Structure 1
Amino acid sequence: MTNSRAVVARGKGEPVTVETIVVPDPGPGEAVVRVQACGVCHTDLHYREGGINDEFPFLLGHEAAGVVEAVGAGVTDVAEGDFVVLNWRAVCGSCRACRRGRPQYCFDTHNAAQPMTLADGTPLSPALGIGAFAERTLVHSGQCTKVDPAARPAVAGLLGCGVMAGIGSAINTGQVGRGDAVAVIGCGGVGAGAVAGANLAGAAEIIAVDTDATKLDWATELGATRTVDASRADTVEAVRELTGGNGADVVVEAVGRPETYTQAFYARDLAGTVVLVGVPTPEMQLELPLLDVFARGGALKSSWYGDCLPSRDFPMLVDLYLQGRLPLEKFVSEEISLDGVEHAFSRMDKGEVLRSVVVV
């Protein structure tokens, strides 16, 4: 076992602390990864605020890239020295989704069996089964996805969560095609990823919708062709006007609120697709006229992790980045140390950054 510095959330709403944790040697099916970079995702803030569950203390961080330092018995998919992006969909291969050839929906994903602990032996709950605001972390080997080591860790690690969720919501879930008109409502990290994904897929029109001018600028840099300031214009009317009165072929809702979902529903063309990738809170309710659901046709979809399959999608997207076709570096607003995570939460909450990235 080894000691590592790591970012820990000890209680609901309490500022995070940098502490020494104990990382066990890898057991069967496990791997220890030396973390090189980890993005600060809103999900980590949800953990700190008790919005996921109350299994404190949490070891935060999950959007990470690093190098495999050691593997346990039976591990054959990765080896010491491999450069990997960590994922929270280590497919089991045997659940009903996997058996039906849909591993991107795996219902029984793997995590490390052994707990990492505080110095006094208190078990830690790693965020999304990863816990990567740390010098080292213990994961299941299936959570390690090998990618081209030529990619900068601060960039590659972003595929571990938010950026992949956004790109995948457009490409995998929304199945955006060449020449499509796409609208993205909410242009934070995930929505910006959806813009980049729609651009990569060859959409002819990409309409970015937000109330924050800075986020609309970010979306433009990532491929948006038009922008709508939702604080000044009616979103549905604006999207229809920009699409010849028809509405968009695909609308990605990256906010996760009933109001913006309703806008997405009516901003799409007949037989168009709505993709919900924004995460709602438990108390939210949605009401739509059932006749409109029927009459407008098309598809209403939810996107889990961008419906990604890490073993397929991470290497492909890293290759596209290295070819200059996917500008992942534009998502990195700043690089910080482990000690800067609490301040990064504040900046993220205020919408001042697209992604802060911890470089270890």
Structure 2
Amino acid sequence: MARKPPVFDIYDYVTRLEEQVRLLHTEKNLIVSKNSQMEIEFQKMRKELDEMRKPPLIVGTAQEVNLEEKTAIIKNTNGLEFLVEFEKEHLDLIKAGSRVAMTQRSLKVVRVLNDIKDPRARAMEVIERPETNFSFIGGLKKETRELEEAVILPLLSPEKFEKLGIEAPSGVLLHGETGTGKTLLAKAIANKTNSTFIKITASELVRKYIGEGAELVRDVFKLAEEKKPSIIFIDELDAIGTIRSDETSGGDREVQRTLMQLLSEMDGFKKRKNIAIIGATNRIDVIDPALLRPGRFDRMVEIPLPDLNEREEIFAIHSGSMPLDDVNLRILAEKTDGASGAEIKAICMEAGMLALREDADFITQNDFLKAIDKVLGQEEEKSEEKMFS
């Protein structure tokens, strides 16, 4: 018997074709969508590439501005000056001292930048109001009274000086041995006058490139103007304020430029209200006389090493929160003749560390005596005496 041929179902075939068409349409839509995404990504990357190929802008500072002609004299970071044009949209923004961005080819001003301060100046120690007060300082009663008259009174009651027709000191120079409390006094003054404390170390003002140190000095004074009432404390003033000589190298000339800028800022200090300047040095013998004339650091206060009673008071301050066991502070003060306040603080900390090492609950007189030997080097001196005896 002959076999029957299979029956061909046209409807089933059409259905399968329609299903394939739908799948192809779906794949096409997915491909179109991916293509669009890739096109967007391509344009984004192309834009980034164009930005990377674009030459950087030159930053300069406007020295003089002519608003009528829309021109300005711009000084770049290399010290070169250019007469350039700027657009009308920058008319209200650009002024002498403004930082601007210029194209490399035509030096056309395309942007006026924010008038920011040198980030190095902001990296200095800036405290809105120090927590240190005069109760943290042992002794120095006479010196504290002098500083109240020279710094605190002009900041808190300037009308008293106007009433008597006298001018307050422009600056106060603290001089004395290292560790006698010069920085503590400056912070205590800022605390009492509710002022911002700006501390700079003069050695930080000595820079490698020409004009950098002078620019930093200007920026610190601008920062003080922003934060007023404020106190500028210049530590280690002898780093830039030494007596000038005729024979100078390149580095010495840069130090002198920085000093001249500091003198210039202090000469304009009378116009600044609610700002006090305090300097500190342990080498008063090498300070340039130009810094000490009236109108600059015209008040000098010597900060001496503490005497016996003051040393006992300093011991009491630094050991006040310590659990002591039969400790005679008077004896400790007698054994630390010639020690500074900073050394006495180090002795108290070392005594605490010795007690911690022994896992003790209290700090004893013996801990303090060992700490005195270690900090003041008495054990080392005794061993040297035995060696040569």
TM-score, normalised to structure 2, is: 0.26
Max Rg structure: 2
Counting strand residues as a fraction of each chain, which structure ranks higher?
Answer: 1
Counting helix residues as a fraction of each chain, which structure ranks higher?
Answer: 2
Q: Pick 1 or 2: higher relative contact order, CA cutoff 8 A, min separation 6.
A: 1
TM-score, normalised to structure 1, is: 0.28
